[in-house]
Chain A
Amino acid sequence: MPPGPPGVRTRPGLVLEVERSTPPVLFHAGEGFHLERLPVGSRVIYPAEPVTPLDHPDAAIRQALANPVGDSEPLAALLRAGMRLTIAFDNQAVPLPPMRRPDNRQRVIEAVLDLAAEAGVDDVVLIAAHGLHRRMTEPELRHIVGDRVYDAFAPQGRLTQHDAEDHDNLELVGRTAEGEHVEINKRAATSDLLVYVNVNLVAMDGGHKSTMTGLASYRSLRAHHNVNTMQHSRSFMDQKSSQLHASAWRMGRLLGEHVKVFQIETTLNTDTFPKQFSFLQKREWEWSARDRASYLAVSKSLERCPPRLARSIFHSIKSPQKMTGVYAGEVEAVHALTTENVYRQHLVPIEGQADILTMGLPYVGPYNVNSVMNPLLVMCVGLGYFFNLYRGKPLVRQGGVVIMSHPTPWEFHPVHHPSYIDFFEQVLPETTDPAEIEAKFEADFANDPWYIHLYRTSYAYHGVHAFYMWYWGSHALQHVNNNVIIVGGNPRAVRRMGFKPASTLLDALEMAEDVVGRNPSITHIHNPPILMADVT
């Protein structure tokens, strides 16, 4: 691909109508993939090709820090000796897969620290803003911030991880007019300056949501992480139509009245996989002989591979994604530019909704980096993320059917996802209704001392996190009346979630006919890489 000017999209996404001559379409399915023939007339949404990255990201970062947007002075002017400076940064949930070193966050943090050193700021603390996610391991932290920063800060206890259950170190900043508690990490809330360093994988990320999830307590998070908000976020990727974002924005503004926040957001292109997997990102009719050979070699090898080995191979992948933009300054002004840039990469226009939406789900989502994509995460990635990758209206009509392909193993990472196991075993057999689950079970799980202990001292997601996974999908569940079919999944696991298992895509399409009738319209989201549908 010829290099273009920074931030320019080389080839836009497109919507292909399947004809007889259309080659089979690639479906991701966990640690594997397969080619499927879609019925003639189906539409396939192909993502845009990766935007050309910045030629000199470090220079662009320095430029952004010196020329902030919105009502903000340059970062250097905000720094002074004797001040308390806190730098919070996104955790390992983004980007996916983890990017090759140096990570955007490392570049930005190093630039901020250089300016702080020049200004003589001594009291600097870094906080991994993982909200209710699991703590990161040392290698994960090193990967994000780089060895230099890690070695300078971690041994002195100045590289910390947010602890949403450390009540001595939480600060209740106040309550919004809507009654939302704004309670965040005390160090961040009581600093003279809070610098937030973000990596924007999808349009949902960033803005006030960064601090209001990454540094918040459970009491604060539940103001927007609840079924009602999630069901009225249409979609999460469209901030203007998202109740979740409306809540985070109200809370973030209140925080801004108490602490100066300097937001730094970076965007990435969608060059997701390294060369040996490059066929994944190509349009099938453009596959070369080499691509076809790669596909066959990789897919056949994976079929023979023990699942654990396949998982380990995939989770070792480091993405060649590169920075396409960096914006700094006042939170909302920054995020507006970030969103614009993300949309430039992700948006693909399409007219009309389909009766059936199909999607192939990958091996990784935000919550299973270096971990197992358990059934709840399959639900969340499919119905919470992929379904919500739209602006305007969902790709599938109300009462339609969603078909997802993924092996959906009845398998959980016991260290990372302990409450997920109990949620799956003890909650879902009773009900799959998000509102009922929230009312009946959330408080018990959220306050369970064992989950809290594991969240604080081990590498476990918070006890309530499993609930959020289910809530993420609640808009989709409501929209399609729970008509969800999983192709190739463990039938027991699939049924436990209230979905239907199918052996093949053909079977799934036949099953869907019971709901949407014969000759349904079908839309398939082609991934990787990520795309977002602009549905009119």
Chain B
Amino acid sequence: MRALVFERSLPRYAAARVAATLAPGLGSRVGPLALSDVDEPELPGPGWQRVRPRLAGICGSDLSTVDGKASAYFEPLVSFPFVPGHEIVGELDDGTRVVIEPVLGCAVRGVVPPCTACARGHIDRCERLAFGHLAPGMQTGYCTDTGGGWSTALVAHDSQIHRVPEGMSDEAAVMVEPAACAVHAAVGAGAFGRRVLVLGAGTLGLCATAALRRFAPPSMLMVAAKHPLQKRLAADLGADLVVGSDEVRRAVRRTTASLRVGGGLSGGVDVVVDCVGSQASLAEDLAVVAPGGTIVLLGMPATVLVDLTPLWQRQITLRGSYAYGVEDAVEHGSDPSPRTFEMAFDLAAEATLERLVSATYPLDRYRDAIDHAANAGRRDAVKVAFDLRSERRR
């Protein structure tokens, strides 16, 4: 099968890191990612199915890996070589269209009994990501045994498979995974009825905007966006106020009637959902969040240097938001707690998230695809994906 394969190669990884300093996405040209003909992954056992991807998105964490910027923290949580791609809509051998929930928790790994978190449905907090009968890997797309979405075939456990509802397009379905990340952050942020800033309006920022509006409506929802299309979409998806990324402090100051104290504010918003995860964005979060407020880190960070004095003095909570599982915090009136993916399917349909898919590419134009995704904002795009629907006919 044809697949984009990421090999373990420290020299090439280093080259990608250097190249990416010249231009985002350049790591795809010199790094360990290459288009190859490889064997399809074996089914690991009963309860597994072969999935043929139809669309597979390119995520910020993928770009970070391709550009050699991923944290060394991930080293024991991935296995090489792997096929990237965890935002996947595909089809089973019987033609059923499915979305993959990529987290490789205890159930998928055959770990019995499951860890405490997985036992409660919180696969996002799984403690056995490097154990069980699969090679290490946090998600499909980082595990050598499962394959990934940037290929014509992968394997998925039954617990990972969600049927795509009738009438939902592939484009909407491929947005379910990032939407689930956003739903998880929105529900966990304690945003209901409070003043919230979403910092960044790429795929995650826009999905978070829609998720907050749908599942935890804030009293005021401000979105900081850099590019014109992002601004339009943020307003459309439910932001009360959209501001330029260089206008955040002034806008927060005014809308919260705060005073300025040095470079920061006396008050601020109650919650910041940081969809960037950079050193600069964290500094911005700390400058605009109110004392006692919460910063939810939804964008994947790396090693950053940030002055945490305001975090300490203003008693701010910094909270990570990774992936999805079940949402205890939802007032759903049902038992058990709803799975995040179910909520994400609703969101993708209701908010018509398919409009965020700006461009698709075949696998052999992967360098163009990655370049496009790495510069999506500047090129008036949001989500870039691989289109495998014609690949599989080869």
A interface residue numbers (CB < 8 A to B)? 421-422, 425-426, 429, 444-445, 448-450, 453
Interface residues of B in 72-112 (CB under 8 A from A): none
Q: Are A426 and B241 in contact (CB under 8 A)?
A: yes
Total residues of chain B contacting the partner, CB 8 A: 13
Give the distance to chain B from A447, nearest Cβ to Cβ, in Å: 8
Q: Mark B48-66, 1 if CB is under 8 A from A, else 0.
A: 0000000000000000000
Report the bound CA distance from A421 to B254 in whole Å. 11
Report the bound CA distance from A426 to B251 in whole Å. 7
Q: Are A450 and B260 in contact (CB under 8 A)?
A: yes
Whether B317 sits at the interface, judged by CB under 8 Å, is: no
Q: Are B247 and A426 in contact (CB under 8 A)?
A: yes
Q: Are B254 and A453 in contact (CB under 8 A)?
A: no
For the complex, would chain B's binding face be called helix, strand, loop or mixed by DSSP majority? mixed
Give the distance to chain B from A230, nearest Cβ to Cβ, in Å: 24
| Known contacts A425-B251, A450-B254, A450-B258; 5 further A-B pairs (Cβ under 8 A) | A422-B254, A425-B247, A425-B250, A444-B257, A450-B259
Report the bound CA distance from A453 to B261 in whole Å. 12
Q: Are B250 and A453 in contact (CB under 8 A)?
A: no
Beyond A426-B241, A426-B243, whether A444 also contacts B254 by CB under 8 A is yes
Query: For B336, what are the chain A residues with a Cβ–Cβ distance below 8 Å?
Result: none
Closest to A430 in B: B241
Closest to B251 in A: A426
Q: How many A-B contacts are there with CB distance less than 8 Å?
A: 30
- Which of A421, A426, A445, A453 counts the most B-chain CB atoms under 10 A from its CB? A426
Closest to B253 in A: A450
Query: For B193, what are the chain A residues with a Cβ–Cβ distance below 8 Å?
Result: none
Query: For B257, what are the chain A residues with a Cβ–Cβ distance below 8 Å?
Result: 444, 448-450
Show 30 A/B contacts (Cβ-Cβ < 8 Å), sorted by A. Answer: A421-B250, A422-B250, A422-B251, A422-B254, A425-B243, A425-B244, A425-B247, A425-B250, A425-B251, A426-B241, A426-B243, A426-B247, A426-B250, A426-B251, A426-B254, A429-B242, A444-B254, A444-B257, A445-B254, A448-B254, A448-B257, A449-B257, A449-B259, A450-B253, A450-B254, A450-B257, A450-B258, A450-B259, A450-B260, A453-B259
Report the bound CA distance from A409 to B251 in whole Å. 21
Report the bound CA distance from A168 to B241 in whole Å. 36
For the complex, would chain A's binding face be called helix, strand, loop or mixed by DSSP majority? helix
Interface residues of B in 215-244 (CB under 8 A from A): 241-244
Query: For A425, what are the chain B residues with a Cβ–Cβ distance below 8 Å?
Result: 243-244, 247, 250-251
Report the bound CA distance from A426 to B254 in whole Å. 9
Closest to B247 in A: A425
Report the bound CA distance from A425 to B254 in whole Å. 11
Report the bound CA distance from A424 to B226 in whole Å. 17
Give the distance to chain B from A227, nearest Cβ to Cβ, in Å: 21
- Among all A-B residue pairs, the 5 with the closest Cβ atoms: A425-B247, A450-B259, A422-B254, A422-B250, A426-B251
Query: For B250, what are the chain A residues with a Cβ–Cβ distance below 8 Å?
Result: 421-422, 425-426
Query: For A449, what are the chain B residues with a Cβ–Cβ distance below 8 Å?
Result: 257, 259
Interface residues of B in 241-279 (CB under 8 A from A): 241-244, 247, 250-251, 253-254, 257-260
Report the bound CA distance from A425 to B246 in whole Å. 10
Closest to A419 in B: B254
Give the distance to chain A from B197, nearest Cβ to Cβ, in Å: 14
Give the distance to chain B from A429, nearest Cβ to Cβ, in Å: 8
Query: For B253, what are the chain A residues with a Cβ–Cβ distance below 8 Å?
Result: 450
Closest to A427 in B: B254
Query: For A429, what are the chain B residues with a Cβ–Cβ distance below 8 Å?
Result: 242
Q: Mark B38-53, 1 if CB is under 8 A from A, else 0.
A: 0000000000000000
Give the distance to chain A from B252, nearest Cβ to Cβ, in Å: 11
Report the bound CA distance from A422 to B246 in whole Å. 12
Closest to B266 in A: A450
